[in-house]
Amino acid sequence: MSVRMPDHGFSDVLQSRFRRWTGLVPSAFRIAEPHILNFMGEGNCSVHDIAVPLPKKIMNLVFLGPPGAGKGTIAALAKDAFAIPHISTGDLFRANIKNETELGKLVKSILAAGDLVPDEVTIKMVENRLAEPDAAGGYILDGFPRTIAQADALSSMREPDHVVNFVLGRDEILKRLSGRRVCKSTGRTYHIIYNPPKVEGVDDETGEPLIQRDDDKEEAIMNRLDVYEKSTAPLIDYYRKKGILVDLDCSGKPEDILKALEKLLA
């Protein structure tokens, strides 16, 4: 039975203990058994002085967006805010290959031959991942689906509640991606505007000259954006017709974008 917390609430100490022991933050409440009060060292409290969270609503999310829009950055924040895993197809491929699963061995052989991983293999890998316990309360999918066939398959597995379309202008994407610089030996990454090295063009620790990867050059970026827009347009239309697509402006700071996302999904 759900109840309101009494006006006097329950002690800060009790709330702190409850959060520490359970990892949960009270938001929806039900009356707890008296023995919980004694267990938590607050035996002098009334049974109405403690509230326990009810299970939260499951949230299944898909993130769509062009390279440089910040999907990975926002997903890292959102997975903690919503307590659901961030599932990237790139990470899935790498994990399965590293762990030498049957699917991992298959993907490794396909990539070694220079071929594209077929839909059915990617779909099966995602299906297996969504069956893991940490995804029971929802998921954030990044990089899947990429095709209508994959979107249909996802609907048959676990229909997304919201598909978040990351919106960012080409000029801003170009500024973000073309400004990246990398130390070749360590892989340490900088940005000439947002995260510059102490000395221009030089790695902070090794003193090596920084390089600009071919993928981060303007011509390559524009080509990637063209490919993304052509391949993703059908998916955007697909989910907009379903009524579950929401557009998210990604031009601000990550923490502000997260707040906007939470508001959109409320």
For the annotated catalytic residues, the residue numbers are: 71, 146, 180, 213, 224
Alpha helices (runs of H) in 66-147, residue ranges in sequence order: 71-82, 89-98, 102-112, 119-130
Residue 62 φ then ψ, to 5°:
-120, 130
Instruction: Examine residue 145 and say whether the peptide bond preceding it is cis (omega within 30 degrees of 0).
Output: yes
Retrieve residue 63's tokens: 């993130």
What residues contact 221, with CB distance under 8 A and at least 6 apart?
A: 67, 68, 173, 174, 177, 178, 215
Distances (CA, A) of 169 to 166, 179, 254: 10, 16, 16
For residues 91 and 248, what is the distance between their CA atoms, to the nearest angstrom?
Answer: 24
Give the integer Cα–Cα distance in Å for 169 and 47.
55
CB of 174 closer than 8 Å to CB of 216:
no
Sequence-distant (≥ 6) Cβ neighbours of residue 7 within 8 angstroms: none
163 backbone dihedrals φ, ψ, rounded to 5°:
-115, 115
Total count of residues recorded for the chain: 266
Question: Which residues is 189 bridged to in the sheet?
Answer: 182
Token pair 């990398």 is at which residue?
A: 182
